[in-house]
Structure 1
Amino acid sequence: MSTAWTREMLAGYDWSDVSHVCDVGGGHGHLLCSLLDEHPHLEGIVLERPDVLEEENRLWALEMGVEDRCSYVTGDFFEAVPAADVYHQTYE
Structure 2
Amino acid sequence: MIDVAGGRGGLLRAVLTQHPNLTGILFDRPETVNDHLLHGEGLSGRRQTEGGDIFTAPQGGDLYVLRFPDEPE
TM-score by length of 2: 0.79
- 1:42 alignment partner, SS class: coil
Identify the residue that residue 73 of structure 1 maps to in structure 2.
50
Structure 2: gaps of 5 or more residues? none
Q: Computing the radius of gyration over CA atoms, which structure comes out larger, 1 or 2?
A: 1
Distance in 2 (CA, whole Å) between partners of 1:29 and 1:82 is 19
1:43 aligns with 2:23: yes
Distance in 2 (CA, whole Å) between partners of 1:60 and 1:54 is 9
TM-score by length of 1: 0.64
Structure 1: gaps of 5 or more residues? 1-20
Distance 1:82 1:46, change over 3 A: farther
Q: Taking every aligned residue pair, what percent have the same amino acid on both sides? A: 33
Count of matched residue positions in the alignment of Structure 1 and Structure 2: 69
Structure number with the higher helix fraction is 1
- 1:78 alignment partner, SS class: helix
